[in-house]
Amino acid sequence: MKIHEYQAKEILARYGLPVVAGKVADSPETVYQIAKAMGKPVVVKAQVHVGGRGKAGGIQLANTPDEARTAALRLLGQPLKGLIVEKVLVEEQIRVERELYLGITVDRQHKQNVLLLSAEGGVEIEELAVTKPEAIGKLYIDPIKFLSEAEVDALLKQRDIPDIEHLKKIIFQLEKVYRDLDAELAEINPLAWTASHTYNVLDAKINIDDNALFRQPGMAVYREESETDAIEREAHRRKVAYVRLDGEVGIIGNGAGLVMGTMDEVSHAGGRPANFLDIGGGAKADAVKNALEIILMDSQVKGVFLNIFGGITRCDEVAKGIIAASQAIHIQVPIVIRLTGTRAEEGRTLLSGTRLIPVQSMQQGAQKIVELTGGRK
Amino acid sequence: MGILADRDTKVIVQGMTGREGSFHTEQMLVYGTKVVGGVTPGKKGESVCGVPVFNTVKEAVSETQATASVIFVPARFAKEAICEAVEGGIKLILCITEGVPVQDMIYVIHVVKSKGVRLIGPNCPGIATAGETKLGIIPGSIFLRGNVGLASRSGTLTYEIVNGLTQAGLGQSTCAGLGGDPIIGTQFIDILPLFERDPQTEVIILIGEIGGTAEEEAAFYIKKMSKPIIGFISGRTAPRGKRMGHAGAIISGGQGTAESKVKAWQESGVFVAETTNEIPLLVKEALKKANHSKEVRK
């Protein structure tokens, strides 16, 4: 789960990290008031989950409250790289002497947490990793003993970095945030060394491990806001694993791999998937009904392909769910269905006489649904 | 004889008395797996399908001499369950449980490594040695004994592919479902040497997925292998930054794209299938070539 910059900064401030004074707002008028109260030049920053926000115009400088209001008008309610800006963060402008990068994340190959530090911050770290890998210092974090003072010292002393003592405190506090919150990423970029020679968190990103949310009750308040799409929000409420995409072919399957495989197959046949939806293993009729209803909320969907490989999932349960859904809502688009495996025969019998279009294989289904939804583009 | 388990491997099931645990215990027994015990704290004396339940792994192991464990406990208890299996002397652990926190896995990996235990999963369907045994939730009915080895990051897509092989008359040796999480116990690179050494396996299928760099890492080892490899990458059409169900299946920061994986594999000599129904055809070709070169050597 991604949380917004202002939320990440709230958390970092609570852990004693040096965060710029700022306030979040959702209207130009509030932005004006905040800037006026600050009485200083401000920066107005769009709160959306996109990379390269600055380059896309999502960060604007304002010297007066009026300019701040104008900046907010330009950002609020407008799309930034496809996402609507609902909130902006208004912060005091900081004069920066140099920028560093500091982050902790999971290294999948090493199967460990890793601390990343670079004396050259500000840019996308992935970019730096490609163009200048030697500029990034890496420290793998011991899973039992965590970060040691000696290791951090060694990492910092290799580099030309000011006020090492203060930076050390920041590093250890960031690691504490990372562990306490079950984060997958805690990143300060840039970490500014200001003109008044002190450290300041200019931008921050924290991603929380979805699998750990059960033991992170404090994250519930952020959860709601992390889902910007209305259908995705409804899917989450109904506990349906759904991701909205921008095509016209609705896709339902059991198991994430099979769903992805089905999406690929539909694309291969010339169609564009409208979503990812996994009903999971052993889904009951109710889950299938929910799945179908969620998909059909998207008005772009011109047809649905259900691809079920019954293992623990029983095909007759899936069939019952489809029938229940078609009784509850008026389905106006064609539905192609492939049932195979556990109780496939019973499932097909239940569906005979309905308007559903049965197919034998994943390939056949993909071709059929693409043909029915407008063919190859 | 499979690369990880065979018909004589004695298996316990942690979380046996739960809904999933009991259902799959039955399925495994039907397939012929030697399920010799179950573990659910506080349920000692009960039984599932005639298999006795114990309170602890230690007890179960000393009573049954089991060497493998299949774990079905809820995600929040998975870390403890895996550590208990290690402490109890289990050598092969399959964690079927989905939704285990990443930080728990980082700790667990440290534990299994230090004790020399093989962990597969979490969030995996388990393994099957065709015609001998299956540990986990892969439907037994799809297998045919033969010489194709499979390793996969996916679950149901693997069933689809195995089913396609069986229908094409291409039997399997071992099928290993490695799991869809960012941190997993066993990756392609760990499983490939086992297939390379396995006399039964003649051709290997790797089913990869977007996210992470497991496929790219494996490419280095593949270059040194003698057996032909067929590859498939799922999630080719998934957009960046969106997590596709599996916690590991996300393209972030330019890493983990399907293109990068396909390229790495092709460069190391893997025959990469465009679609799943191409896989049996590529396997047949690879087998033909392998047999041909064998005859030439004769």
Judged by phi (left if over 0) then psi (alpha if -120 to 50, else beta), residue B36 lies in alpha
- Determine whether the interchain pair A182/B249 forms a contact, defined as Cβ–Cβ distance below 8 Å: no
Q: Which residues of A244-270 are buried (b: 16+ CB within 10 A; e: fewer)?
A: bbebbbbbbbbbbbbbbbbbbbbbbbb
- Determine whether the interchain pair A362/B163 forms a contact, defined as Cβ–Cβ distance below 8 Å: no
**B-chain residues within 8 Å CB-CB of A189?**
none
What CATH number belongs to A21-92?
3.30.1490.20
**B-chain residues within 8 Å CB-CB of A276?**
238, 242, 244-245
DSSP secondary structure string, B66-93? Answer: --EEEE---HHHHHHHHHHHHHTT-SEE
Q: pLDDT tens, B88-119?
A: 999 999 999 999 999 999 999 999 999 999 99
Residue A213 · residue A1 · CB < 8 Å: yes
Which of B256, B154, B243, B236 has its CA nearest to residue A243? B243
- Portions of chain A given CATH number 3.30.470.20: 96-221
Question: Does residue A187 carry a catalytic annotation?
Answer: yes
The greatest distance separating any two alpha carbons of chain A, rounded to the nearest whole angstrom, comes to: 77
Q: pLDDT tens, A168-184?
A: 999 999 999 999 999 99
Residues making up the annotated binding site of B for substrate are: 159
User: At residue A21, does pLDDT exceed 90?
Assistant: no
- Portions of chain A given CATH number 3.40.50.261: 230-372
Hey, of A145, A258, A272, A359, which one would you mutate to test binding to chain B, going by the most B CBs within 10 A of its CB?
Answer: A258
- Portions of chain B given CATH number 3.40.50.261: 139-297
Whether B99 contacts chain A with CB within 8 A: yes
Whether B242 contacts chain A with CB within 8 A: yes
Residues making up the annotated binding site of B for CoA are: 17-20, 43, 96-98
- Determine whether the interchain pair A312/B255 forms a contact, defined as Cβ–Cβ distance below 8 Å: no
User: At residue B294, does pLDDT exceed 80?
Assistant: no
DSSP secondary structure string, A234-277? Answer: HHHHTT-EEEE-SSSEEEEESSHHHHHHHHHHHHHTT--B-EEE
- Portions of chain B given CATH number 3.40.50.720: 10-120
Contacts of B158 (CB under 8 A, 6+ apart): A257, B125, B138, B150, B152, B175, B177, B207
Residue B123 · residue B246 · CB < 8 Å: yes
Whether B226 contacts chain A with CB within 8 A: no
Label the pairing between strands A96-107 and A59-62.
unpaired
ipTM score of the complex?
0.90
Instruction: Tell me how far apart the alpha carbons of residues B133 and B274 are, in angstroms, rounded to a whole number.
Output: 31
- Portions of chain A given CATH number 3.30.1490.20: 21-92
Q: Can you give the pTM of this predicted structure?
A: 0.92
Instruction: List, in sequence order, every beta strand (DSSP E) within A119-273.
Output: 136-141, 183-194, 199-201, 204-208, 241-244, 249-253
Instruction: Tell me how far apart the alpha carbons of residues A75 and A222 are, in angstroms, rounded to a whole number.
Output: 22
What CATH number belongs to B10-120?
3.40.50.720
Q: Assess if CATH 1.10.3470.10 describes domain A96-221.
A: no
Domain A230-372 -> CATH class: alpha beta
Instruction: Tell me how far apart the alpha carbons of residues B86 and B100 are, in angstroms, rounded to a whole number.
Output: 17
User: At residue B53, does pLDDT exceed 90?
Assistant: yes
Domain B139-297 -> CATH class: alpha beta
Q: C-alpha dihedral over A156, A157, A160, A161, to 10 degrees?
A: 40
Q: pLDDT tens, B180-214?
A: 999 999 999 999 999 999 999 999 999 999 999 99
Using pLDDT thresholds of 50, 70 and 90, give the confidence band for residue A376: low
DSSP secondary structure string, B278-295? Answer: GHHHHHHHHHHHHHHHHH
Hey, of A2, A111, A315, which one would you mutate to test binding to chain B, going by the most B CBs within 10 A of its CB?
Answer: A111
- Determine whether the interchain pair A261/B101 forms a contact, defined as Cβ–Cβ distance below 8 Å: no
Strand partners, A139: A115
